[in-house]
Amino acid sequence: MKSLKIGLVGLMLLGFTGMTASAAHAAVVVIHGPREAPPEPREEHYGPRHGYIWVGGHHEYRHRHYRWSRGRYEHERPGYEYAPGRWDRHEDHYDWHDGEWHSHR
């Protein structure tokens, strides 16, 4: 019930300001990543596993600190190749790009 009240108050505020829900969504500010480079990745030991690929760990940035996120096995996808995630420098900060599958075609 409390969340319903909060939602109704939010809709009323949008009405008072003359904004639509889509305009309010477009006004969300994206906060850029950290200014300092991530630490070097940790060395991880893993063995081959039939039908899986190894996705190496990486440093995540949360609450103004880097924290290590361990690697994991991911099911292979026939006809696809996995491109690992990476940190890229963009102007004065770093952005994380998740790993993704790319078709061989």
Q: How many other CB atoms sit within 10 Å of the CB of residue 14?
A: 14
Q: Where are the beta strands (DSSP E) in 41-105?
A: 52-55, 58-62, 65-69, 72-75, 80-83, 86-90, 93-97, 100-103
Beta strands 65-69 and 58-62 are antiparallel
Phi first, then psi: what are they for 23, rounded to 5°?
A: -70, -40
Per-residue pLDDT of the chain (105 residues; tens, 9 = 90+): 444 333 333 434 444 444 444 344 344 444 568 999 999 999 999 999 999 999 999 999 999 999 999 999 999 999 999 999 999 999 999 999 999 999 987
Phi first, then psi: what are they for 16, rounded to 5°?
A: -70, -35
Question: What's the pLDDT score for residue 27?
Answer: 44
